[in-house]
Amino acid sequence: MRPRLRSWMVVTGALAVGVAMGSIGGRFAPWATPQADAPRPAAPAAARAPVPADRTRGTDVRGVLDELSARLAEQDARQSALEREVEFLREALGEESPTLGMAELDAGNEDPSADEPATARDTTPSRRRFRERSVAERKAVLVESGMSEVDADRVIAAADKASLDRLSLRYQAAREGWLDSPEYRQAMAALPNERELVRREYGEDAYDRYLYASGRSNRVVVESVMGGSAAQQAGLQTGDTLVGLAGERVYSVRDLMRIATEGAADEMIPLTAVRNGALVETTVPRGPLGIGADHQSVDPASAP
């Protein structure tokens, strides 16, 4: 072999060996410059250690429960305030609540009160939106229902005062920032509404005429009687009009429920109904009557 060719082969072989050693040294040689490792993938979720149950029982769960309880209490308070506000605004506007269909007393379905519009009501203009009319118009309606002019003036003044007192309280609470507070609800509940004031100050007859004249229901009519109920045992029938319970006049299902929950349970109390134009007297145990009931508006002058 020629010397020049041999020298070229030696140089080429040396270079090859150097390249190979450099590659190997880059991985294993202690003198080689270290290269950055590729990021390792995160461990699967199933492979992670679970949080011990005892670490959450005493702290996290209790905290969540307390928070939910606080939110529920706040929601209840807001709902109560909203219901009172709706009732107040309806009174201020002279509007009525939706018509009551069947009120099952033993199921505890509460009557929306004597504000209920009657199922069969005179819809002449003098009976619609009673409080939106002038004092003279309201007085004429009351006198037409059988109230004297003097009593009509007094009843209208008392009703207006009750509405103004409630309106003033609402504005005061809104101005001072306690409209949604329990104090506002308690103060509003302590104020009599117009119906309560008329009934308390001027008696049952004036109250009955006021309900009828203002277009509200003033009678409770039996729609159904449940088998085995106190009403069935007392002989109540469909179509009976309930006018008295435990010595008190009855104008709404709410009156029945209030009287039924007062006093000693199961004590016998008198019940008065009207059947075919005649009064029917019976007794029932204090408690749920077990009837379905509806409301009517009846002219007191023509009622027995």
The CATH number linked to 284 is 2.30.42.10
Range of the domain at 200: 77-96+123-213
In a domain, residue 139? The reply is yes
Asked if residue 245 and residue 139 are part of one domain, the reply reads no
The reported pLDDT for the residue numbered 298 is 92
Structural element, H or E, at residue 163: helix 149-176
Residue 176 lies in a domain: yes
Contact 284, 234 (CB under 8 A): yes
pLDDT confidence band for 26 (50 / 70 / 90):
very low
In a domain, 205, yes or no: yes
Q: Is 45 within the bounds of a domain?
A: no
Q: Is 243 helix (H, G, I), strand (E, B) or coil?
A: strand
Mapped onto helix, strand or coil, the DSSP state of residue 240 is: coil
Is 44 contained in some domain? no
Taking only the tens place, the pLDDT of each residue in 157-208 is 988 998 899 999 999 999 999 998 999 999 998 998 888 888 988 899 999 9
**Count of domains in the chain?**
2
- In terms of domains, do 198 and 181 share one? yes
Question: Which of 38-42, 144-148, 234-238, 300-304 has the highest mean predicted lDDT (pLDDT)?
Answer: 234-238
